[in-house]
């Protein structure tokens, strides 16, 4: 339920509404917006309907949240959420690019790639330590050792680090090292994992599943938020279609659609969408033009030798050139990079 307050509602009136919501066994979430202040009430709607909220002083309107997801819905919080770590915040005027190899393959390659993406203007480093591979015989990641290299790269460059979690049993370990915890496309519907991620405060980058709708993605985000962690950044990374020229099909419309449906930030991963290096530039430009809050791009110091996703990884020089172009586009769009 959404309770819209009158523009001049006093603190005492707001507190009174909150008490009534709590007395009905529901949880209130106050959101002071630029235009208006609203209270979202989450819980048993039937119990709340018995409370005559609309006649309480300071209340303007009471309406149900029509969407299946509640806390991530725009109605619940009309102003965009700005989410991140340190000064790497997504959803505000400033755009951020997270760049780095698909997987952490070793110390030297990670440090070298990190220094180069930092010099080009990335603000966070990506790198998988736990890799979800289609084949059980493919490189599975360096796990704890990989996380330690990421921490070392953060020390050396000042870049924040983003890495994927695959199993709730690794949460304590990943939470210790990562600044951004990534949930990969294959785990978008791992609901046990999503609920566990509600127990930490770290920002979660939630990638859209291979055949998930925008609604499915928002419901997965709702799992994390409803479990206690409001810090979710959505990521469009392409979906499976009949098209096979590209690895996946970047659903560019999902970006403005999500901006309409939700207050959460949305970033785009052109690398897994395209599967090919030559398309990273146009897809990155399109993503920013469509309103994305940032990008997640694979960059490898030596893609020919990469243990995974080399063909879609930019070389550091290509990444630097792209960043120049993105900066110009950001300025045109009234944003900063």
- Which residues contribute to the site for Mn ion (CB under 5 A)? 102, 309
Candidates 109, 185, 287, 290; binder of ligand PEP (CB under 6 A) is: 185
Nearer residue to Mn ion within complex by CB, 70 or 126: 126
Sorted by sequence, the CB contacts under 8 Å of residue 70 that are 6+ apart come out as 40, 42, 76, 222, 226
94 binds ligand PEP (CB under 6 A): no
Sorted by sequence, the CB contacts under 8 Å of residue 215 that are 6+ apart come out as 68, 69
Nearer residue to Mn ion within complex by CB, 263 or 272: 272
Select from 17-25, 27-35, 179-187, 327-335 the region that touches ligand PEP (CB under 6 A): 179-187
Choose the contact partner of 200 out of Mn ion, ligand PEP, none; CB within 5 to 8 A by kind. none
Select from 63-71, 88-96, 183-191, 255-263 the region that touches ligand PEP (CB under 6 A): 183-191
Select from 32-40, 181-189, 195-203, 221-229 the region that touches ligand PEP (CB under 6 A): 181-189
Choose the contact partner of 318 out of ligand PEP, Mn ion, none; CB within 5 to 8 A by kind. none
272 binds ligand PEP (CB under 6 A): yes
Choose the contact partner of 84 out of Mn ion, ligand PEP, none; CB within 5 to 8 A by kind. none
Select from 69-77, 86-94, 178-186, 216-224 the region that touches ligand PEP (CB under 6 A): 178-186
Sorted by sequence, the CB contacts under 8 Å of residue 183 that are 6+ apart come out as 164, 165, 190, 193, 194, 197, 204, 205, 206, 207
**Under 8 Å between Cβ of 269 and 97:** no
Please report how close the Cβ of residue 208 comes to ligand PEP at its closest, in angstroms: 8
**Under 8 Å between Cβ of 185 and 237:** yes
- Parallel/antiparallel/unpaired status of strands 294-298 and 59-63: unpaired
132 binds ligand PEP (CB under 6 A): yes
Q: Considering only residues 205 through 264, tell me which ones interact with ligand PEP, judged by CB under 6 A.
A: 207, 237
29 binds ligand PEP (CB under 6 A): no
Nearer residue to ligand PEP within complex by CB, 65 or 174: 174
Nearer residue to ligand PEP within complex by CB, 132 or 198: 132
**Under 8 Å between Cβ of 142 and 177:** no
303 binds ligand PEP (CB under 6 A): no
184 binds ligand PEP (CB under 6 A): yes
* Cross-strand partners of 14: none
Choose the contact partner of 276 out of ligand PEP, Mn ion, none; CB within 5 to 8 A by kind. none
**Under 8 Å between Cβ of 16 and 57:** yes
Give the integer Cα–Cα distance in Å for 103 and 112. Answer: 14
Nearer residue to ligand PEP within complex by CB, 184 or 230: 184
Full DSSP string of 208-257: PPTT--HHHHHHHHHHHHHTT---EEEEE--B--S--SSSSB--TTHHHH
Choose the contact partner of 240 out of Mn ion, ligand PEP, none; CB within 5 to 8 A by kind. none
Please report how close the Cβ of residue 134 comes to ligand PEP at its closest, in angstroms: 10
Q: Left, alpha or beta for 238 (phi > 0: left; psi -120 to 50: alpha)?
A: left
- Output the six-digit token pair for 18: 């909150």
Alpha helices in 24-143 (DSSP H): 45-49, 107-120
Give the integer Cα–Cα distance in Å for 118 and 99. Answer: 9
Full DSSP string of 250-276: --TTHHHHHHHHBSS-EEE-HHHHH-S
20 binds ligand PEP (CB under 6 A): no
Q: Beta-carbon neighbour count of residue 253 at 10 Å?
A: 11
Residues that bind ligand PEP (CB under 6 A): 102, 128, 132, 164, 184-186, 207, 237, 269, 272
């Amino acid at each position: 339920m959404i309770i819209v307050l009158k523009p001049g509602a006093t603190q005492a009136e707001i507190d009174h509404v909150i008490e009534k919501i709590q007395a009905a066994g529901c949880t209130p979430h106050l959101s002071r917006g630029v235009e208006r202040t609203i209270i979202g009430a989450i819980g048993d709607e039937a119990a709340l309907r018995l409370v005559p909220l609309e006649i309480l002083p300071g209340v303007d309107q009471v309406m149900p949240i029509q969407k299946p997801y509640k806390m991530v819905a725009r109605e619940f919080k009309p102003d965009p959420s700005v989410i991140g770590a340190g000064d790497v915040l997504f959803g505000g005027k400033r755009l951020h690019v997270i760049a780095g190899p698909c997987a952490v393959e070793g110390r030297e390659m990670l440090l070298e790639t990190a220094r180069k993406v930092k010099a080009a203007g990335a603000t966070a480093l990506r790198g998988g330590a736990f890799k979800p591979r289609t084949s059980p015989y493919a490189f599975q990641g360096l796990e704890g050792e990989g996380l330690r290299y990421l921490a070392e790269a953060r020390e050396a460059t000042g870049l924040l680090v983003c890495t994927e979690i695959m199993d709730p049993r690794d949460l304590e370990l990943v939470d210790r090292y990562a600044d951004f915890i990534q949930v990969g496309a294959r785990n978008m519907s791992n609901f046990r994992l999503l609920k566990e991620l509600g127990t930490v405060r770290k920002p979660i980058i939630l990638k859209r599943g291979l055949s998930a709708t925008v609604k499915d993605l928002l419901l997965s985000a709702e799992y994390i938020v409803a479990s206690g962690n409001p810090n979710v950044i959505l990521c469009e990374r392409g979906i499976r279609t009949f098209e096979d020229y590209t690895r996946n099909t970047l659903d560019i419309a999902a970006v403005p659609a999500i901006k309409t449906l939700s207050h959460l930030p949305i970033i785009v991963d052109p690398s897994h969408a395209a599967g090919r290096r030559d398309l990273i530039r146009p897809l990155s430009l399109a993503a920013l033009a469509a309103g994305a809050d940032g990008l997640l791009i694979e960059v490898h110091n030596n893609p020919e030798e990469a243990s995974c996703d080399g063909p879609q990884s930019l070389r550091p020089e290509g990444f630097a050139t792209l960043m120049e172009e993105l900066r110009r586009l950001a300025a045109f769009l009234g944003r900063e990079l």
